[in-house]
Amino acid sequence: MTIADNIISKEQDQSTTDNDSTIDIQRQMIAILDFGSQYSELIARRIRETEVYSEVISYRTTAEKLKEINPKGIILSGGPSSVYDDYAPVCDPEIWQLGIPILGVCYGMQLMVKQLGGKVERSKRGEYGKASLHIDDPTDLLTNVEQNSTMWMSHGDSCTQLPDGFKILAHTDNTSCAAIAKHQEKLYGVQFHPEVIHSEYGTALIRNFVYHICGCEPIWTTKTFVEESIKEIRARVGDKRVLLALSGGVDSSTLAFLLHEAIGNQLTCMFIDQGFMRKGEPERLVEIFDNQFHINVQYVNARDRFIDKLAGVTDPEEKRRLIGHEFIQVFEEESNRLGPFDYLAQGTLYPDVIESADTNVDPKTGERVAVKIKSHHNVGGLPKNLRFKLVEPLRKLFKDEVRKVGRSIGLPEEIVSRHPFPGPGLAIRILGDVTAEKLNILRDADFVVRDEIKKWDMYHDFWQAFAVLLPVKSVGVMGDKRTYAFPVVLRLITSEDGMTADWSRAPYDLLEAISNRIVNEVKGVNRVVYDITSKPPGTIEWE
């Protein structure tokens, strides 16, 4: 649930919010029916990279609703279930009669086969990871896909009998039906995952489906999105005032620039400094927005309030809850002081819309189940006496698309390319209780990390690079004297989208430079260690 989910006026404003989907650049879309695959979002991103709009929707969406949406094509995602399970999730069988091109991916292909009269059975030998694709028909879907190229498999079931009219397009050493088609009805299926980076010609396959089979045009561009969004914001807001909670991250910053472009001084940004930001960031934020670009930013110093709230708190979920609750209290007080406002702007992104937690489909009931890893930093709800309408211009964008929009409207590169930073900030990079002393130690250590990777011209080599302060002390020696001080953990991560991540094989000399500086410059630290855990099984953040 996002902050705006509890706004009292959402019912009267919902029809306006839903109309976001009628933007002209979305008139040619690919609909993705989600059966619980971890890659459903990734399919949407891959399609958007071809400059065609795509949207993830429930597998329960009826054929009648799909007819109303009128997508240019439909993709059935993968999923964790087996199609022969008693409660396996299934789509409306009427979708096969819509005359819309359909591509089934992994589970989606198996469901297509089963619903159209074929047979799917448990394989004698599963197929997971890389597999060589042997192409039998290089036309249509597999045009420009190289013979024997690598595709990424992840299945324990296989199609053992195809429905009438289908033919095999490709096979692997272990799977006789790796790609299938019923050309005349534009129905296609692949047993592998073309959306993942490990599939060498996956993008070519996706482009074939989007352009050649569905007939889409490349109109999902940054320029068009900005133009249409500005028109929509102006039409929606009129001459009313808009309030935006500015964090300094790429999402809220891009939104601030976009809103300022659309409505100018009708926008007020509120920056609540809760004391958990990195060294120099609050001052730099005000300098950029207020002084350089003349965007109205109201700075609220609430550091003491937040630190007092966390006194003695060690549980990470409790930290997040208390920070979120205190943020709401401060926001309420300051919005009443600065208001009245008619609209609340929020930097909700598309992943927030389609999954506020990791999701799956229960194989026993067919229901989607949310698996809570940790609370999202935006979790919470504004008090119901704050009568705002909601404006969320970025709610259809992925993070990489937001960065493109930010660059196109003049957002400084230091913000556009800023590493992701959690909403609770340094409070969840300090394990155990949070104190002013520990915050100062971690700020100094974190500054060294960022300063060194910039000196080495490696800032953009990492998805995130930061320090973590542990709630223990270790023995050291400095200047022939015994020390008993905190250890700092370095976390240098490489990733494409943050969903999975790997620890960086950073140069030893860089690690040594960071370690030497932290131990010598940061009072209270005498040891530096390096986290070499990937995600999964670990998370990127420690709390």
Per the CB < 8 A criterion, the answer to whether 525 and 535 are in contact is: no
Q: Which residue blocks in 54-211 are alpha helix, DSSP H?
A: 63-69, 107-115, 202-207
Q: What is the pLDDT of residues 458-489, one digit of tens each?
A: 999 999 999 999 999 999 988 778 889 999 99
Q: Is the pTM of this model over 0.75?
A: yes
Intervals of the chain under pLDDT 50: 1-23, 356-361, 363-382
Q: What is the pLDDT of residues 217-270, one digit of tens each?
A: 999 899 989 999 999 999 999 999 999 999 888 999 999 999 999 999 999 999
Please give the positions annotated as active site: 106, 193, 195
CA distances from 467 to 234, 415, 443, 449, 542 (A): 42, 20, 9, 7, 10
Per the CB < 8 A criterion, the answer to whether 431 and 543 are in contact is: yes
Q: Which residues does 438 contact at the CB level (< 8 Å), separation at least 6?
A: 430, 469, 486
pLDDT at 73: 96
CA separation for the pair 452, 517 (Å, rounded): 9
| Residue 54, beta-bridge partner list | 30
pLDDT at 24: 54
| Overall size of the chain counted in residues | 543
Alpha carbon 7 to its chain centroid, in Å, reads 24
pLDDT at 126: 67
| Residue 359, beta-bridge partner list | 370
Comparing CA positions, the residue from 331, 276, 393, 372 lying closest to residue 1 is 372
Number of Cβ atoms within 10 Å of the Cβ of 435: 14
pLDDT at 416: 92
Q: Which two tokens stand for residue 115?
A: 């619903």
pLDDT at 127: 67
pLDDT at 36: 86
Comparing CA positions, the residue from 41, 30, 34, 46 lying closest to residue 202 is 46
